[in-house]
Chains A and B, each alone.
Chain A
Amino acid sequence: MYVLLFYGVPLAVMAVALLMAVLGPRFYFKESE
């Protein structure tokens, strides 16, 4: 439980950011512009 919390949450936050880094320029910004 604690392992999930203290390792899982930071890793999940990083994963979301990395996903944004990969998809951002290719997908979201093209969609925006």
Chain B
Amino acid sequence: MASISWIDWLCLCTYFYVLIAIGLQSVNRDSTEDFAVAGRRISGGVIFASLSASFIGGGAVMGTASATFSDGYVFLFAICAFSLQTALVGHFVAPRLRRYPGAHTVGDVMAAHYGPAARLLTGLLSITVCAGILGAQVLAVGTIFHLMLGVSKFAGIVVGTAFVLMYATFGGMWSVVKTGVAQFVIFSVFLPVVLLFEVVHVGGATTLMDRVSQEHVSFLGSWTPLAFIGVFASFLLGETLVQPYAQRAFAAKNSRASRRGFLLAGLFSVGFYFVAASIGLVARVLYPDVSPDQALPTVVAQLLPVGISGLVLAALFAVIMSTADSYLNATAVSFARDLYVSFIHRGAGERLLLVVQRVVTVVVGVGAAFFALAAPSIIDALLIAYNLWAPTVVAPLILGVVWGFRSRVAGVAAIVAGGLAMGIWRWVLHEPFGITALIVGVAVNLVIYGLAHLLDPRADRLPAHTEPAHPTAAPVAGLAPRR
């Protein structure tokens, strides 16, 4: 598995060179507005590609191939919930985020509706979720280097993290967006090549369907309806408007660009997930005896010719690195905005804030590499927060953004109650009746939100059309004050 030719190495070196050349183009941008939201000048096409690059990570490719290898297309049908979510967010929520002209983070929006306590909780969750996902991607970089190139995990993680840090620290969101588009092109061109090679090798599409088991292509496969609903709900709500995706909406040059970018990304992801899932399905026919985790690596190592395997390896790195840089930037922006300038050093100026964002980028990047190498269990611990995002922030955020609801009591009560309900259902009761903790947490979150909003005498709604006449006229704080 570790023997690849010099041509493959050349492909990989070219990929890393292109990545750094594009990433370093934007190092001279010198404002927090550029660092966090790329000056709010991003067009719909770029939103589409960079958003796709951030949500298509190691899990979306290798995880989908592996799950389809073992369970069949039922996993594809479940993961399409994420595509549906992206399209729905694109139509109903993302364009409305332009009503918050000074906003850089989800915490900014939550603060406008639910006050500083909601910002603090959202910021802490954002930072933990983003750092956890970043750590997982850093681990994946090390694993690919080790498994497919024969390089030690340590060297792989150091090299991968160093490249991301180099451009993300100085170029911020501009670099992340530009490299994201390039990486989107690389993985969207070369990963489908894997499927085409597989289908040709197996003898064509019709032969493939004759050889694959019916269970693998049926709607539910071996899953129960309840299990399907649980996974579908996780994909539908689990990552809704996490910080890196919300940042794309803030970075859009207008509501139309935001809507178009999200809708296109949702539509595109259906095709991409089909490709990733089918790679796993065909691998099942070709190599039924390998473990599901090895489905994609086995295909790359045994089926692809020299040169193509190097390009596909570059595509796998592109998938992971484009997600890692987004989450790295999101962690730094969330820390600076939701914790540092809001609670630690309120009077921090523009230059200091930019320095803080860059320092946090380095610290978090180095920390992720360190924990991936020395204590992967820390990353597992951080990823627990991933389960908390949907039962805490998502419903209050959408209710606030779409319908304008405001209530400090309702926002904070819903976040706390949803998180507690999720935690108790999952870790104390161990998900009885086959109902996932996410569904219970979201239900409790909604009920408590509704009750608290009804009982809060100070609850009200923002007017439906609060978009200011000039995009930079009103800072987000202008939306935040309460009676």
Which residues of A line the B interface, CB within 8 A? Answer: 2-3, 5-7, 9-14, 16-18, 20-21, 23-24, 27-29, 31-33
Contact = CB atoms under 8 A, between A and B. Distances in A.
A20 B205 contact: no
A29 B175 CA distance: 12
Contacts of B155: none
14 contacts: A2-B206, A2-B208, A6-B195, A6-B199, A6-B278, A14-B188, A16-B188, A16-B268, A16-B271, A17-B184, A17-B185, A24-B45, A29-B181, A32-B177
Contacts, number: 87
A6 B208 contact: yes
B49 A2 contact: no
A21 B169 CA distance: 25
A11 B45 CA distance: 20
A27 B44 CA distance: 11
Contacts of B206: 2-3
Given A16-B268, A20-B49, A32-B43, A7 B205 contact: yes
Nearest to A28: B45
B205 A10 contact: no
B241 to A, nearest CB: 22
Interface of B: 38, 41-46, 48-49, 177-178, 181, 184-185, 188-189, 192-193, 195-196, 199, 204-206, 208-209, 253, 268, 271-272, 274-275, 278
Given A17-B188, A18-B185, A24-B181, A32 B253 contact: yes
Nearest to B268: A16
Nearest to B178: A29
A12 B271 contact: yes
